[in-house]
């Protein structure tokens, strides 16, 4: 394959960004949805396929079954015969920008808090995969990408289903220091092999090297016979984390914890300590103040205080103005100086540098700002570009306030832009509605943002129905 090639009349290859033994990953442009994507392509002669095409198809199916924000998201799978008679099988995925974890480790051990944070996120992805019967089987530092949104687990290329007979070609598809001992014996696929690899990854992040630094299968087997690796000796590292790492590396898979248990222990180890004494009293005062604010919001007062965890949609709407065609709601400001005086700093998220995307617990947007019916007359005069701009502005505002992850926001804006350029506007609008609802079900779209986007989608639909000027 070369730059400029188009797969199935849709994906234009722009730049090769990585290559492996049997495939290459390209930065590509989706000409149907007008967005940048990553395309993993297996390009082989028709008579030279030795099961690799089935592997890449299995990768797409396995990754598509996992619902977790830190797992690579698969958009499409396809096969095509190129102009020179070669078979190209490909997987289309979300394009991520970041740094491979292996590059970070090459500069030296990570601070233990950062290492534990990354391992906890990877453990949660593995737990989600195991819940759906999928075993990754290739958890390595090369397959973890550090992005602005945190660690992402990539490459389900040799994933298998729980209970499936292990591949006889494990030596061809595995990185020796990360491979659990039982995989070499050809036992059936079990989630414990991922937990072993996770233990290697955690040990490597903490110390700068794998527990068995040997590089060949024979050397590693010999090293394992000499006994378990030492506990990671890192100043300040909680004892429970060091012991957990040792348990993950146990030669007997029955003695290893589950990925969910690993995630829970690691998350707890970096959680803030419970507040006591005066600080607890202050926290109680803040809770009372927020409860009062919520009551005032219900009866129509406008709350001007900044939120503790997540800014409600009322603030987003205020920054944007009402949706196109929606009547403006106004109220007299309320003096919150006393309430603001007793506010304290928000409690840290259990995982440092990880943004929280859950609903606020005590705040709600005034109903009028979210669910106010749209009058037919103003909507009829709205142009489609204005309606699309209002939708995109709401998405951007939610992203700016950390209510929406970047990749979700970019995807929604890109699909919305297609309403201007695509002839099948009805189909694009249906796709956009489905994406909004899906992200909400996945927990990536807070309830109040979901409602606001639905309002703006209704405005877009009215603009299409009225044939508003472009």
DSSP string, 20-31: -SS-EEEEEEET
Residues 6+ apart with CB under 8 A from 441: none
Q: How crowded is residue 241: how many other Cβ atoms within 10 Å of its Cβ?
A: 24
Residues 6+ apart with CB under 8 A from 290: 308, 362, 363
At residue 384, the 3 state secondary structure works out as helix
pLDDT at 303 over 60: no
Q: State the pLDDT at residue 175.
A: 81
Q: Which residue has the higher pLDDT, 172 or 217?
A: 217
Instruction: Over range 93-100, report the average pLDDT.
Output: 90
Query: 290 and 158 in contact (C-beta within 8 Å)?
Result: no
Phi, psi of 5 (to 5 degrees): -65, 145
Nearest in space to 311 (alpha carbons), one of 365, 390, 349: 365
Alpha-carbon distance 347 to 275, whole Å?
10
Query: 139 and 178 in contact (C-beta within 8 Å)?
Result: yes
Within 87-165, residue ranges assigned H as helices are 101-106, 112-131
pLDDT at 122 over 50: yes
Alpha-carbon distance 91 to 61, whole Å?
10
Q: Which residue has the higher pLDDT, 457 or 426?
A: 457
Percent of the chain with pLDDT over 70: 71
Q: In the numeric block, which tokens belong to residue 186?
A: 């050809």
Q: Which residue has the higher pLDDT, 166 or 380?
A: 166
Alpha-carbon distance 98 to 153, whole Å?
12
Q: State the pLDDT at residue 48.
A: 57
Instruction: Over range 407-421, report the average pLDDT.
Output: 84
Question: For residue 314, with 0-12 CB atoms within 10 Å meaning exposed, 13-18 middle and 19 or more buried, which class applies?
Answer: buried
Alpha-carbon distance 42 to 116, whole Å?
35
Instruction: Over range 419-430, report the average pLDDT.
Output: 82
Q: State the pLDDT at residue 469.
A: 44
For residue 357, name the pLDDT band (cuts at 50, 70, 90).
very low
Q: What is the mean pLDDT of the chain?
A: 76
Tell me which residue has tokens 């142009």: 383
Alpha-carbon distances of 265 from 124, 351, 432, rounded to whole Å? 11, 12, 38
Instruction: Over range 44-50, report the average pLDDT.
Output: 58
Q: State the pLDDT at residue 36.
A: 95
Instruction: Over range 185-193, report the average pLDDT.
Output: 87
Q: State the pLDDT at residue 190.
A: 92
Instruction: Over range 213-232, report the average pLDDT.
Output: 79
Region of poorest pLDDT, from 90-104, 189-203, 286-300, 310-324: 286-300
First and final CA of the chain: distance in angstroms? 39
Q: How crowded is residue 448: how many other Cβ atoms within 10 Å of its Cβ?
A: 24
Q: In the numeric block, which tokens belong to residue 316?
A: 């987003």
Question: For residue 96, with 0-12 CB atoms within 10 Å meaning exposed, 13-18 middle and 19 or more buried, which class applies?
Answer: middle
> For the segment 144-168, what is each residue's pLDDT rounded down to a tens digit?
999 998 999 988 878 888 888 765 4
Region of poorest pLDDT, from 73-82, 105-114, 241-250: 73-82
The yes-or-no answer on residue 138 being catalytic is yes
pLDDT at 132 over 70: yes
> For the segment 265-278, what is each residue's pLDDT rounded down to a tens digit?
999 998 876 654 44
Q: In the numeric block, which tokens belong to residue 414?
A: 């890109």
The model carries a pTM of 0.56
Instruction: Over range 67-77, report the average pLDDT.
Output: 87
Alpha-carbon distance 190 to 182, whole Å?
10
Q: State the pLDDT at residue 273.
A: 61
pLDDT at 19 over 60: yes
Alpha-carbon distance 53 to 446, whole Å?
39
Q: In the numeric block, which tokens belong to residue 289?
A: 């103040």
**Domains of the chain and any CATH numbers:** 6-94 (3.30.200.20), 99-269 (1.10.510.10), 277-466 (no CATH)
Alpha-carbon distance 156 to 60, whole Å?
8
Alpha-carbon distance 125 to 156, whole Å?
12
For residue 10, name the pLDDT band (cuts at 50, 70, 90).
very high
Percent of the chain with pLDDT over 90: 33
Q: State the pLDDT at residue 275.
A: 55
- Our CA angle for 47, 51, 54, nearest 5°, is 115
Q: In the numeric block, which tokens belong to residue 389?
A: 């701009």
Look up residue 71 and give its DSSP letter.
B
Q: State the pLDDT at residue 375.
A: 34
pLDDT at 318 over 70: no
Alpha-carbon distance 206 to 342, whole Å?
40
Q: State the pLDDT at residue 293.
A: 42
pLDDT at 426 over 90: no
pLDDT at 98 over 80: yes
The catalytic position among 30, 70, 76, 138 is: 138
Instruction: Over range 366-374, report the average pLDDT.
Output: 35
Nearest in space to 96 (alpha carbons), one of 356, 399, 408: 408
Nearest in space to 141 (alpha carbons), one of 188, 78, 197: 197
Q: In the numeric block, which tokens belong to residue 82?
A: 């190129």
Region of poorest pLDDT, from 34-38, 130-134, 186-190: 186-190
Alpha-carbon distance 363 to 118, whole Å?
31
> For the segment 322-355, what is each residue's pLDDT rounded down to a tens digit?
444 444 444 444 444 443 433 333 333 333 333 3
């Amino acid at each position: 394959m070369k730059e400029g090639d188009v797969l199935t009349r849709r994906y234009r290859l722009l730049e090769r960004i990585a290559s492996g033994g049997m495939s290459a990953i390209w930065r590509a442009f989706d000409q149907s949805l007008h967005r940048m994507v990553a395309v993993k392509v297996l390009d082989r002669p028709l008579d030279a396929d030795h099961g690799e095409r089935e592997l890449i198809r299995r990768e797409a199916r396995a990754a598509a079954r996992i619902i977790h924000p830190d797992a690579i998201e698969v958009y499409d799978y396809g096969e095509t015969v190129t102009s020179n008679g070669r078979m190209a099988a490909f997987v289309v995925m979300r394009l991520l920008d970041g740094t491979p974890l292996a590059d970070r480790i090459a500069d030296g051990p990570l601070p233990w808090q950062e290492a534990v944070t990354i391992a906890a996120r990877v453990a949660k992805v593995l737990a989600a995969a195991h819940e759906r019967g999928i075993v990754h089987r290739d958890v390595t530092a090369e397959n973890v990408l550090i992005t602005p949104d945190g660690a992402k687990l990539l490459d389900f290329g040799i994933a298998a289903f729980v209970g499936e007979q292990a591949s006889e070609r494990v030596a061809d598809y595995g990185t020796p220091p990360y491979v659990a001992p039982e995989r070499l014996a050809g036992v059936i696929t079990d989630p414990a092999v991922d937990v072993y690899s996770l233990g290697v990854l955690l040990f490597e992040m903490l110390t700068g090297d794998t527990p068995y630094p040997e590089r060949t299968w024979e050397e590693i087997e010999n090293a394992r016979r000499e006994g378990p690796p030492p506990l990671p000796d890192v100043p300040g590292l909680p004892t429970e984390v060091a012991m957990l790492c040792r348990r993950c590396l146990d030669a007997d898979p029955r003695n290893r914890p589950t990925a969910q248990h690993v995630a829970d222990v690691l998350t707890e180890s970096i959680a803030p300590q419970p507040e006591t004494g005066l600080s607890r009293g202050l926290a109680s005062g803040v809770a009372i103040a927020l409860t009062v604010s919520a009551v005032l919001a219900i009866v129509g007062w406008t709350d001007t205080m900044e939120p503790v965890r997540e800014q409600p949609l009322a603030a987003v709407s205020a920054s944007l103005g009402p949706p196109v065609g929606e009547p403006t709601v106004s109220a007299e400001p309320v003096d919150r100086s006393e309430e603001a005086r007793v506010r304290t700093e928000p409690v840290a998220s259990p995982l440092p540098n990880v943004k929280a995307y859950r609903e606020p617990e005590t705040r709600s947007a005034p109903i009028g700002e979210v669910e106010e019916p749209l009058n037919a007359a103003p909507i009829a005069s709205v142009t489609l570009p204005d309606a699309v701009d209002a939708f995109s502005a709401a998405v951007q505002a939610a992203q700016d306030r950390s209510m929406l992850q970047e990749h979700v926001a970019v995807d929604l804006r890109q699909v919305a832009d297609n309403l201007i350029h695509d002839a099948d506007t009805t189909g694009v609008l249906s796709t956009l509605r489905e994406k909004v609802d899906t992200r909400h079900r996945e927990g990536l779209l807070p309830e109040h943002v979901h409602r606001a986007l639905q309002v703006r989608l209704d405005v877009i639909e009215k603009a299409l129905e009225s044939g508003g000027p472009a």
